Amino acid sequence: MKIALVQLNYHIGNFNTNTERIISHINKAKTEGAHLVVFSELAVCGYYPHDLLERKEFIDNTLKAVDEIVNATSDIAVVIGAPTVNTSNRGKRLYNSALFINNQKIEKTIHKTLLPTYDIFDEYRHFEPNKSFDVVEFMGKKLAVTVCEDLWDKQPTNNSFAQSELYITSPLEELNKLNPDLIINIAASPFSFDQEGTRKSTLVRNAVEYSLPLVYVNQVGAQTEVIFDGGSMFINHAGEVMHEMAYFKEDFRIVDIDVSQEQETQASQSAIAKINDALVLGIKDYFNKMGFKTATLGLSGGIDSAVVAVLAVQALGSENVHVLLMPSKYSSGHSITDAVELAENLGIKYETVDIQSIVDSFEHALSPLFEGLEADVTEENIQARARGVLVMALSNKFGNILLNTSNKSECAVGYGTLYGDMNGGLSVLGDVYKTDVFNLARYMNREKEVIPENIIVKPPSAELRPDQKDSDSLPDYDILDDVLYRYIEQNQSTEEIISAGFNAETVRRAAHMVNINEYKRFQTPPILRISSKAFGFGRKMPLVAKYNG
């Protein structure tokens, strides 16, 4: 049996384009002799539509698109993901389904059993879980068709409080009772920098445990903050990955599950290389799918804005990036020259607007109110907000989308100014710790110096007061980021982190800063997710909680 694995980048709600591309790949599979074509989870409408699933016209449009796809399946079979309607009077209105279409007829509809409702997932909000199991019979074989999470009934976890077995039911245990010959899993499995190994080991475990070959088709592309990295694959019954498709780009592959073949796998990449590729894809798809073309950001001469500028050029092209240098009296001379050198290295348009007279006018206007009071963070924030006004003006006037440059370390501890440096349409580094921002810069310079060396080696500074350094207000990033990772990603308590050898005062202070700055993060732009626990949809905390655990 020849099976075409089709790994595409879908656009939520763009039924015409999604359907055209699905049908064109069905025709391609026919031409190349495939018997069965496999697409990913919710491919027809795009993953994840959220509350669009509650709109009747959205479901009607999905079903019309399914009809078009069915009509295109003469002399070939297709497995594809789509929401389907629950016709009973009980339960949620929809199922998350895999349709088995054969020669212009939907022969079987398989519903997803395990509906993830954790981290960024909220599928039980919209879908009814499957409660019955059956295989698909095709070309003399029994196919165990599953949808994404249905293979994840056992999950590795780095959180000591979490359970590794989240679900009561194991879909494959039930399907295995029907003696299948092949597992097919259609997925929308998002990227995180440590996910590839976990995902692959989960798929291999299932193939070995049930001694069955496994076809896995993921999607690729970004849907706002969630990035899908592809990596579809065919695994034989012994758990060997025989065919592995591309990461971070579309791909098409035909595998013959009955014929022994040489392995075709992807070269391994470092975590930093994958993060770079994921962020580029996240920027590119955010702009393309929203109909935007050009980007702007404030280029300070610091490492965060430098890395974002490089990523923006990789995603959009140098001709579509327009940056603004906004020095004040506290800006060092090398910050300005470093920013100019970077802009010229990248070939991007840059302009300079000195903010000092603007800041002076604010301070003059406020002087009667502040008379007799010492300068403090208020005056620092005025500078950040003056810069925020200027880059937003550039965005409004020229239609450029402002890219936010704050990193995860800063977002975590509230080291940023609302309505100033926290402005933006998309947060590029909001899930990248500061130490990894430095690693990204080194990776970007692996072949030639794109980011001036001085930007990488100088001590980080917001340059909002004389001789200011980040280390004046924060622990060294090597220490801070380790503490934050344990507290945020691993959900360790302060006492657990302290018992691992960290300074008690540093840990408690860091945790306190994370907790009291939830209100700031609530107002940030969407953050491109590259870790297992990003701020935003994936980490929901009450704003008014009194908690310092």
Kindly list the distances between the CA atom of residue 345 and the CA atoms of 215, 309, 318, 342, in Å, as whole numbers in the listed order: 45, 11, 10, 5
Q: What are phi and psi of 386, to 5 degrees?
A: -65, -40
Is-catalytic flag, 45? no
What span, in angstroms and rounded, lies between the C-alpha atoms of 229 and 36? 23
Going by C-alpha positions, the residue among 241, 303, 304, 305 that lies closest to residue 268 is: 241
CB burial of residue 446 (10 Å; 0-12, 13-18, 19+): exposed
Q: How far apart are CA 192 and CA 278, in angstroms?
A: 9
148 part of the active site: yes
User: Between the CA atoms of 101, 107, 109 and 110, what dihedral angle is there, to the nearest 10 degrees?
Assistant: -90
- Tally Cβ neighbours within 10 Å of residue 200: 16
The separation between CA 237 and the C-alpha centre of its own chain, rounded to angstroms, equals 31
Check 112, 408, 434, 533 and give the catalytic one: 112
**Inter-residue long-range contacts of 337-344, CB under 8 Å, 24+ positions, other chains counted:** 337/301, 338/301, 338/306, 338/452, 338/454, 338/455, 339/299, 339/300, 339/301, 339/305, 339/306, 341/452, 342/299, 342/301, 342/306, 342/309, 342/450, 342/451, 342/452, 342/455, 343/299, 343/309
Q: Which two tokens stand for residue 467?
A: 């001789």
Question: Three-state SS across 314-337?
Answer: HHHCHHHEEEEECCCCCCCHHHHH
Q: Which of 41, 149, 196, 244 is catalytic?
A: 41
Active site (annotated) includes residue 112: yes
List, in order, residues 6 or more apart from 493 with CB less than 8 Å away: 549
Q: Of these residues, 45, 108, 128, 148, which one is catalytic?
A: 148
Closest CA to 421 of 390, 459, 460: 390
Q: What is the rounded CA–CA span in Å between residue 45 and residue 476?
A: 46
Cis peptide before 48 (omega within 30 of 0): yes
According to DSSP, the β-strands at 349-352 and 321-325 are: parallel
Q: Which residue has the tokens 């080696």?
A: 457
185 secondary structure, DSSP code: E
Residues with a catalytic annotation lie at: 41, 112, 148
